[in-house]
Amino acid sequence: MDETVGGEPWAAGLPRGTDGLDGIELRHLRAFMAVAEERSFTYAADRLRVGQPTLTRTVRALEEALATRLLDRTTRRVELTDDGRRLHAELAPLLSRLAAALRAPGGQPLLRLGFTSLLPAACAGLNAAFEAATGAGVRLVRRDTPLAGLDTGEADIAVLRGDAPPDADVRTRVLLNEPRVAAVGRLGAAAPLARRRVLDWGELADHPLVVNTVTGSTRPELWPEDRRPRLACTANNFDEWLEAVAAGHGIGVAPQEVAHRHTHPGIRFVRLKNAPPVTVRLALPARGAHPLAERFFGMGGEGRAVS
């Protein structure tokens, strides 16, 4: 009999090798999930703290065991095949439940709260209220990925800035809104703007923009269609974004929290007026969410703990 998830055959539709699931280990699944999320063997290997050749062999072993290609590899990017997307969707809730089941019995209940480059300071109040109400601990898990480790089973609930990816199987709730600031490099054509005390959102359309395409919350599409900034370059994480701005490649836009908690000798953060706020959301799996995540999700909706 096939193992099932939610009444449906596990990895339904995937071809299987002659040995079925024999030989498939948890490390194979974690390796695949990391590459699927990062869309890069290099970044996935760094995240899992393994060598890239080892990671490549592990993923290839999973593909051979399932007798199907899960990933399309090019010299610049990795994309999921149709089978890969189906397997990813099935594994995300499975690994989350497995991680919960393997936590030490009899120990303190633990909620894993995922976040990207920066956890909003206001979450400290929510975390404290949750711990006081439940007796559970909160473990903070940073993952610079669109869902902050939620879809790979590394987090039970996540704090996201902006909208969740359109294909993400998650539920979200607005937690708070953050003002935006401009990040202006002290080098390059935009350097004179670093001496300003305030900039208008509309002014930025005249300058090239540096965008963090993985976890950033600012895109050229936020401006009117007939007046948008040119995309100067993209970054895959917060540190790359920061250095690109400092190098004078273009202006960056970030939540105000970044200006309060990050400094860089080559960047000045300038207040923005008329800028749309950054919506911060709680997200948890649409199916099979951990009970502690459901409790946290409900408390976040009250708004009292984050005011």
| pLDDT confidence of residue 61 | 92
| pLDDT confidence of residue 105 | 57
Q: With a cut of 50, which residues of the chain have pLDDT below it? A: 1-19, 302-307
| pLDDT confidence of residue 18 | 41
| pLDDT confidence of residue 167 | 81
**Is 0.85 surpassed by the pTM of this model?**
no
| pLDDT confidence of residue 247 | 94
CA distance 34 to 43: 9
Per-residue model confidence as pLDDT tens digits over 200-227: 999 999 999 999 998 899 999 999 999 9
CA distance 131 to 173: 20
